[in-house]
Amino acid sequence: MTQAVHDIPAHVARRAVEWMLELQSAPATPALRQAWSDWRAAHPTHEAAWQRVESVRSRFGGLAGVSGAAAVAHATLSARSRARRRSVQALAVLLLAGGAAYTVEQRTPWRQWAADHRTRPGEQRRIVLADGSALVLNTDTAINVRFAAGERRIVLLRGEIFVATAKDRGRRFLVEMPQGLAQALGTQFSVYSEAQRAVVQVFEGAVEITPAQAGSPARLLRAGQGADLSAQSVGSPRPVGDADRSWVHGTLIAKSMRLADLLAQLSRYSPHPLVCSDAVAELRVSGAYPVAQIPLILESLSATLQLQIETQTRFWGRQVVQVRLAPRGA
């Protein structure tokens, strides 16, 4: 999360702003667009600076072009520091009015907020740990890394990780989640944890799983096995295969999957829910879907299944509520 914004040199930031102003000032010619994309590609800091520009622009995105919003914004933002003294009553009124905003800010639990490594919905990240073990964080995931003399411990706060452990005789490799503990025995495996349950899948070697509740029996999973896990118990092993770790390479593989189930899976990679109408929920789909390209997947599903895409927004398009697939003409 600590993106090194200060690594962007001032002259690069200046150039990025100049590009923004230039592109805003007139309809861009193909030559200008080409020059702009060449500049972005020329150096990683250029692209990084441009991403900051986009991020600045997005702050204004919801306000621009909406009648009334700009006037309100000007009036609000030009409020200068007047008297700082406030009567208690005035504070009470303002706090009531601002109550909703305040709860929005407080929703993020601090443990996830303060996590060592995090991904946002739709983002995946690869990490090599100090011991050489490799981790892949799937969408919307937060972990802490706790290495000590006797053990290597990953605390999975939420989401899903794939682990390929490096050999280290002296130190156990553990993944801790609210539902329990998975100890790797020279291996490749994945762990997914959500509110009530967790899923452990083993692709190489073996993993011993211990539910969080004291006295619950542990279970050993071998390569090709996966199981659900609650704080009390480990479910029966079921077979897992390469399709279950295809997300590590950015792909979701569906074999004759219900459309509703596929959309539920893809929703994890999307900032807003993806749903479909009941009429088409049972349609079966197969394919390898690139999870980083949700809009493309929706386009392709809509084309092959003859569906229409309905995007529900509010706040003048600033926030997408959900995207829904429905029969055409419905």
Partner 1 sequence: MPVTVDAAHREVAGLYNEHHRWLSAWLRKRLGDAHQAADIAHDIFVRLLAREEPVQAREPRAFLTTVAQRALFSHYRRQQLERAYLEALAHCAPQLAASPEERAILLETLVEIDRMLDGLPAVVRKAFLLSQLDGLKQAEIAQELGISLASVKRHLVKAGMHCIFAVAP
Residues 77 to 136 in contact with partner 1, rule: CB under 8 A: 77-82, 84, 86, 88, 90-91, 94-95, 97-98, 100-101, 104, 110-111, 113-114
Q: Interaction with partner 1 in 269-308: which residues (CB under 8 A)?
A: none
Q: Which is nearer to partner 1, 15 or 258 (CB)?
A: 15
Burial class (CB in 10 A: 0-12, 13-18, 19+), 255: exposed
Beta strand residue intervals within the chain, DSSP E: 117-118, 125-128, 134-137, 142-147, 151-164, 172-177, 180-193, 198-211, 219-222, 225-229, 238-239, 251-258, 274-276, 284-290, 307-314, 319-327
φ/ψ of residue 166, rounded to 5: -95, 150
SS percent in the chain: helix, strand, coil, step 5: 35, 35, 30
Distance CA 140, CA 119 (A): 5
Nearest to 220 by CA among 253, 251, 187, 244: 187
Radius of gyration, CA atoms only, the chain: 24
Q: Which is nearer to partner 1, 179 or 225 (CB)?
A: 179
Q: Interaction with partner 1 in 197-256: which residues (CB under 8 A)?
A: 212
Q: How far is the CB of 22 from partner 1 (least distance, A)?
A: 11
Q: Which is nearer to partner 1, 104 or 303 (CB)?
A: 104
Q: How many residues bind partner 1 (CB under 8 A)?
A: 75
Residue 321 binds partner 1 (CB under 8 A): no
CB 73 within 8 A of CB 316: no
Q: Which is nearer to partner 1, 116 or 310 (CB)?
A: 116
Residue 160 binds partner 1 (CB under 8 A): no
Q: Which is nearer to partner 1, 49 or 259 (CB)?
A: 49
Q: How far is the CB of 68 from partner 1 (least distance, A)?
A: 3
Residue 2 binds partner 1 (CB under 8 A): yes
Q: How far is the CB of 101 from partner 1 (least distance, A)?
A: 4
Among 7, 9, 43, 70, interactor with partner 1 by CB under 8 A: 70
Residue 176 binds partner 1 (CB under 8 A): yes
Residue 68 binds partner 1 (CB under 8 A): yes
Q: How far is the CB of 266 from partner 1 (least distance, A)?
A: 25
